[in-house]
């Protein structure tokens, strides 16, 4: 009996050991394949050295880009980056694009220390990294993202002035009747202090004022924020336009009479927007460059707008100048 038990235990240990060995073997195998594909990338890169745009154009026709690109960072950019990655991989079957979230801070840090090829960020690298480190990164402003203040549809508030918005988010006004609405308490729903969405909203919508964090619910992601606003008719929050494409129970509020639309972003009348950045270390690998060029190219521009983001090249001079 005792021996039997011992046998069982030994068996369990052996199985566990085998698992561990198997796992590590898989690990090294995949690492090797990655290393291989990276080598291929460099050789492919050497043959096509006629500049970035031609590389991208060639990629579209022939699909010759090989290699793998790892990107991480901003959750606001994540859906678009993933969609672009999938399209790009269809045209270049030998290329693997893996996009992860993690937040802008994580993305910038990982691209700076070389653990990913592309770091996605809502903010300029200079705001989060050492000036020295930021200098080594190349900024690609792949698209713009417009933020809108959102309320529950049943509230009936369609427009707020910048002053009203500031007073609401700083906790000065606590009832909708003081902002042209019904007699209902205001429920603030915001994002964490480090959120890129919050930083943009603070800078462009409420004049840099500090939000009343001690009177606001905080949500980790924009989806939860929308759900909370859906469920509470006195609630107000802010999200990026891509989150408002499908949703109908919440409504974007115009600021000073200007609707939060892409057109108003392009012509410079609606100010609450920012660039989405893809940072590469130096120039970035050939595959990473091709992927970023594909994302910023004309072919993909339609998809960018369909998903609610803005195309950087469509910005008017006024609009671009205001966000330098």
Partner 1 sequence: MKDNSVYEKKAKTERIWKGIITACGVMIILLTISIVIFLAVKGTKTFTVFNHSVGEFLFSSEWSPKDAVGQAGGKVGAAVYIYGSLLTCGLSLLIALPFSLAAAIFMTEISPRVGTKVFRPAVEIFVGIPSVVYGWIGLTVLVPFIKRAFHARMGGFSVLAAALVLAVMIFPTITTMAADSIRSVPDLYREAAYGMGSTRFQVIRKVVLPAALPGIVTGVILGLSRAFGEALAVAMVIGKTRAFPKDLLSPTSNLTAAIAADMGNSADGGEANTALWSMALLLLLICMFLILVIHLIAGKEKKNET
**Other residues' Cβ atoms within 10 Å of the Cβ of residue 179:** 19
Q: Which listed residue (55, 166, 219, 265) binds partner 1 by CB under 8 A? A: 219
In the window 169-188, what residues touch partner 1 (CB under 8 A)?
185, 187
Closest separation in Å from C-beta 60 to partner 1: 34
Q: Cα separation of 89 and 81, whole Å? A: 12
CB within 8 A of 15, min separation 6: which ones? none
In the window 285-324, what residues touch partner 1 (CB under 8 A)?
none
Q: Which is nearer to partner 1, 63 or 102 (CB)?
A: 102
Q: Cα separation of 279 and 105, whole Å? A: 12
Q: Cα separation of 243 and 245, whole Å? A: 6
Q: Which is nearer to partner 1, 134 or 258 (CB)?
A: 134
Closest separation in Å from C-beta 204 to partner 1: 18
Residue 209 in the binding site for partner 1 (CB under 8 A) = no
Residue 130 in the binding site for partner 1 (CB under 8 A) = yes
Q: Is 145 helix (H, G, I), strand (E, B) or coil?
A: strand
Residue 216 in the binding site for partner 1 (CB under 8 A) = yes
In the window 230-249, what residues touch partner 1 (CB under 8 A)?
231-232, 235
Q: Which is nearer to partner 1, 133 or 258 (CB)?
A: 133
CA distances from 289 to 38, 63, 220, 234 (A): 14, 14, 31, 46
> C-alpha angle 85/90/93, rounded to 5°?
100
Residue 103 in the binding site for partner 1 (CB under 8 A) = yes
CA distances from 229 to 150, 155, 316 (A): 8, 11, 33
Cβ-based burial of 57 (10 A; exposed 0-12, middle 13-18, buried ≥19): middle
Q: Which is nearer to partner 1, 73 or 85 (CB)?
A: 73
Stretch that binds partner 1, among 35-43, 47-55, 223-231, 310-318 (CB under 8 A): 223-231
Q: Which is nearer to partner 1, 85 or 105 (CB)?
A: 105
Query: DSSP string covering 223-282, please?
Result: HHHHHHHHH-TTEEEEEEGGGGTT--SEEEEEETTB---HHHHHTTS---EEEEEEEEET
Q: Which is nearer to partner 1, 209 or 217 (CB)?
A: 217
Residue 102 in the binding site for partner 1 (CB under 8 A) = yes
Residue 70 in the binding site for partner 1 (CB under 8 A) = no
Closest separation in Å from C-beta 112 to partner 1: 9
Closest separation in Å from C-beta 189 to partner 1: 8
Closest separation in Å from C-beta 31 to partner 1: 21
Stretch that binds partner 1, among 45-53, 129-137, 305-313, 315-323 (CB under 8 A): 129-137
CB within 8 A of 201, min separation 6: which ones? 147, 149, 238, 272
Closest separation in Å from C-beta 170 to partner 1: 14
In the window 185-204, what residues touch partner 1 (CB under 8 A)?
185, 187, 192-196
- Using CB under 8 A as the binding criterion, the count of chain residues that bind partner 1 stands at 37
Query: DSSP string covering 146-201, please?
Result: EEEEEEEGGG---EE-HHHHHHHHTTS--BGGGGTS-S-B-EEEE--TT-HHHHHH
Residue 119 in the binding site for partner 1 (CB under 8 A) = no
Q: Cα separation of 114 and 265, whole Å? A: 34
Contacts with partner 1 by CB under 8 A lie at 10, 13, 17, 101-106, 108-109, 127-131, 185, 187, 192-196, 210, 213-220, 224, 228, 231-232, 235
């Amino acid at each position: 009996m005792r021996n039997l038990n011992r046998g069982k235990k030994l068996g369990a240990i052996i199985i566990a050991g085998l698992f561990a060995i198997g796992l590590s073997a898989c690990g090294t195998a995949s690492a090797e394949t990655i290393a291989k594909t990276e080598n291929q990338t460099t050789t492919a890169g050497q043959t096509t050295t006629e500049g970035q745009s031609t590389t991208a154009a060639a990629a579209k026709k022939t699909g010759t880009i090989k290699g793998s690109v790892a990107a991480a960072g901003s959750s606001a950019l994540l859906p678009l980056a993933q969609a672009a990655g999938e399209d790009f991989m269809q045209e270049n079957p030998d290329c693997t694009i893996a996009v992860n979230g993690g937040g802008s801070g994580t993305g910038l840090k990982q691209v700076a220390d070389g653990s990913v090829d592309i770091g996605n960020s809502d903010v300029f690298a200079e705001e989060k990294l050492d000036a020295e480190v930021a200098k080594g990164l190349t900024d690609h402003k792949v698209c713009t993202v417009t933020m809108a203040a959102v309320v529950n549809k049943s509230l009936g508030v369609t427009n707020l002035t910048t002053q009203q918005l500031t007073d609401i988010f700083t906790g000065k006004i606590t009832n909708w009747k003081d902002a042209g609405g019904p007699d209902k308490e205001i429920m603030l729903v915001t994002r964490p202090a480090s959120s890129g969405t919050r930083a943009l909203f603070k800078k462009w919508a409420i004049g840099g004022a500090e939000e009343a964090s001690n009177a606001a619910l905080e949500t980790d992601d924009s989806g939860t924020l929308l759900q909370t606003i859906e469920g509470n008719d006195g609630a107000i929050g802010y999200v990026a336009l891509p989150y408002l494409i499908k949703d109908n129970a919440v409504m974007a509020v115009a600021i000073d009479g200007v609707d939060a639309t892409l057109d108003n972003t392009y012509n410079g009348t609606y100010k609450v927007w920012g660039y989405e950045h893809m940072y590469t270390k130096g120039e970035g690998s050939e595959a990473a460059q091709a992927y970023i060029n594909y994302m910023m190219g004309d072919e993909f521009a339609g998809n960018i707008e369909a998903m609610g983001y803005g195309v950087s090249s469509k910005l008017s001079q006024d609009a671009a100048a205001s966000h330098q």
